[in-house]
Amino acid sequence: MNDLKQTIATLRSSFIQALEQVGTLQELEHVRIAFLGRQGQLASIMSCMKNLSLEEKKLCGPLLNELKQTSEQLFNVKKEALEQQNRQQELKKKQFFDVTAYRAEPFKGGLHLYSHIIQELEDIFISMGYQVVDGPEIETSFYNFEALNIPQDHPARDMQDTFWLTLPGYLMRTQTSNVQIRTLEKQRPPVAIISAGRVYRNEATDASHDFMFTQLECLVVDKTISLSNLLGTTQTFLQRVFGNEKLKIRARPGYFPFVEPGIEIDASCLFCTDGCSICKRTTWIELLGAGLVHPNVLRACGVDPQEFSGFAFGMGIERLAMLKHGITDIRLFHGNSLSFLRQF
Ligand code: FA5
């Protein structure tokens, strides 16, 4: 009997001590299970009651009941205190924040430099009333060469070393001029189109030559189109691309089998007035291949050269972007270096 009384007293003090050490609701739950749970210490003492005599039951029963009630009360008080403490901590977190705290910049995706420059070029031409068209990169020899007045065995084919496909007659286009033919086959003049896209040449690469690069093609066919239309259009376009109204152009004779006359158009150097390393001390920078559409090309597309004439030009988009942004190596364009690409 005295043993049981002693056990009850010990349980009370160890329960109180355990409660004092509890710091979280989770720890409190462990204490509850150990002392007050169905298989806890209190329950196991209560189960011993059945072995006591009636007299002993009368004495110990109230003691145990009192212990159970007090333990539950103490448990509830502790639980309320911990919940209150949690609420206050949450409130504190919301009330105060450090405006100077470091926040990692989220990674922002962006358009590739190619997309930027092509959109810029397209916007300029759309504002001048041009239509933007597309053409295939896998092309037949007919559209890339024959229809452009470059028959088989013509020496001009060597000017653009070609990647031939194993499928006979098919190649990776070497120039966007294929779009001239594909457009004139479908559309009757007046025609004013531009087309930007990839071209491929079987060439060794260096800082200004790649085996895969992009060109912008421009074609205008209508009645009475002349060289002055071509020169006026290219000058306006280049002035807008480089944001420089003072930019001048000059034309030199050039040979492309699909234009007659053929010219090369240079722009006045953007970086100097008296010669620098970029313009190779000439004060001019080569930018475009151009000319009046050859009558044979018009004829191949069913357009009468007696009635219609046209101009066309083509240029390398990378070389233009390199000048505009001071890029020194063409291979950076598709090198996938994020530190390069994130600058644009
Ligand atoms: C042509 O491709 C003609 N189709 C352009 C043309 C169109 C002439 C319409 C007349 C009428 P060319 O081979 O010169 O021309 O190439 C045009 C431009 O592409 C060059 O001025 C240059 O800027 C760029 N280019 C040529 N080869 C490479 C290369 N390997 N890497 C990067 N850019 C190149």
Q: Which of 95, 124, 151 is the last residue of a domain?
A: 95
Examine the pLDDT at 160 and tell me if it is beyond 80: no
User: So what's the pLDDT on residue 85?
Assistant: 93
Looking at the DSSP bridge assignments, the partners of residue 216 are 196, 315
One domain for residues 130 and 90: no
User: So what's the pLDDT on residue 115?
Assistant: 94
Atom of ligand 1 nearest to the CA of 176: 4
Residue 257 lies in a domain: yes
User: Could you tell me if 266 and 286 are in contact, meaning their C-beta atoms sit under 8 angstroms apart?
Assistant: yes
| Listed residue (219, 280, 269) closest to 247, CA to CA | 269
**From atom 31 of ligand 1, which residue's Cα is the shortest distance away?**
209
Q: Domain range for residue 60?
A: 2-95
One domain for residues 129 and 85: no
**From atom 19 of ligand 1, which residue's Cα is the shortest distance away?**
316
Report d(CA 151, CA 315) in Å as an integer: 23
Three-state SS for 227?
A: helix
Q: Is 234 in the pocket of ligand 1 (CB under 6 A)?
A: no
Q: Is 313 in the pocket of ligand 1 (CB under 6 A)?
A: yes
Q: How many domains does the structure of the chain reveal?
A: 2
Q: What is the mean pLDDT of the chain?
A: 92
User: So what's the pLDDT on residue 1?
Assistant: 60
For the full predicted model, state whether its pTM sits above 0.75. no
Report d(CA 12, CA 71) in Å as an integer: 8
**Residue 331: which CATH number?**
3.30.930.10
* 23's tokens: 């710091």
Cα 224 to ligand 1 centroid, rounded to whole Å: 26
One domain for residues 127 and 182: yes
Q: Which of 64, 95, 126 is the last residue of a domain?
A: 95
One domain for residues 204 and 170: yes
User: Could you tell me if 45 and 57 are in contact, meaning their C-beta atoms sit under 8 angstroms apart?
Assistant: no
What value does the mean pLDDT take over residues 309-337?
94
Report d(CA 168, CA 6) in Å as an integer: 104
What count of other Cβ atoms lies within 10 Å of the Cβ of residue 259?
26
Q: Is 312 in the pocket of ligand 1 (CB under 6 A)?
A: yes
Residue 108 lies in a domain: no
Cα 172 to ligand 1 centroid, rounded to whole Å: 15
> Nearest 5°: CA angle at 232, between 135 and 315?
35
For the ranges 59-73, 191-205, 286-300, 309-323, the lowest mean pLDDT is seen at 59-73
Q: What is the pLDDT of residues 218-231, one digit of tens each?
A: 999 999 999 999 99
Q: What is the pLDDT of residues 89-144, one digit of tens each?
A: 888 887 777 788 888 888 778 899 999 999 999 999 999 999 999 999 999 999 99
One domain for residues 315 and 176: yes
Residue 213 lies in a domain: yes
Residue 119 lies in a domain: yes
One domain for residues 55 and 121: no
Mutate to test the pocket of ligand 1, among 157, 162, 177, 198 (most ligand atoms within 8 A of CB): 177
User: So what's the pLDDT on residue 154?
Assistant: 82
User: So what's the pLDDT on residue 102?
Assistant: 85
User: Could you tell me if 85 and 317 are in contact, meaning their C-beta atoms sit under 8 angstroms apart?
Assistant: no
One domain for residues 171 and 82: no
What value does the mean pLDDT take over residues 211-222?
97
Cα 307 to ligand 1 centroid, rounded to whole Å: 29
What count of other Cβ atoms lies within 10 Å of the Cβ of residue 233?
19
Q: Which of 95, 127, 154 is the last residue of a domain?
A: 95
Q: What share of the chain is helix, strand, coil (3-state, %, to 5)?
A: 45, 20, 35
One domain for residues 47 and 123: no
Mutate to test the pocket of ligand 1, among 319, 324, 329, 331 (most ligand atoms within 8 A of CB): 319
* 232's tokens: 């006026």
One domain for residues 147 and 246: yes
Residue 64 lies in a domain: yes
Residue 39 lies in a domain: yes
| Listed residue (201, 193, 241, 251) closest to 219, CA to CA | 193
Residue 106 lies in a domain: no
Residue 104 lies in a domain: no
One domain for residues 117 and 80: no
Three-state SS for 107?
A: coil
Atom of ligand 1 nearest to the CA of 319: 23
Q: Is 259 in the pocket of ligand 1 (CB under 6 A)?
A: yes
Q: Is 319 in the pocket of ligand 1 (CB under 6 A)?
A: yes
Q: What percent of the chain has pLDDT over 90?
A: 72
User: So what's the pLDDT on residue 225?
Assistant: 97
Examine the pLDDT at 338 and tell me if it is beyond 80: yes
DSSP annotation of 10: H
One domain for residues 142 and 288: yes
For the ranges 40-49, 237-246, 255-264, the lowest mean pLDDT is seen at 40-49
One domain for residues 72 and 209: no
| Listed residue (315, 255, 344, 282) closest to 121, CA to CA | 315
Atom of ligand 1 nearest to the CA of 174: 2
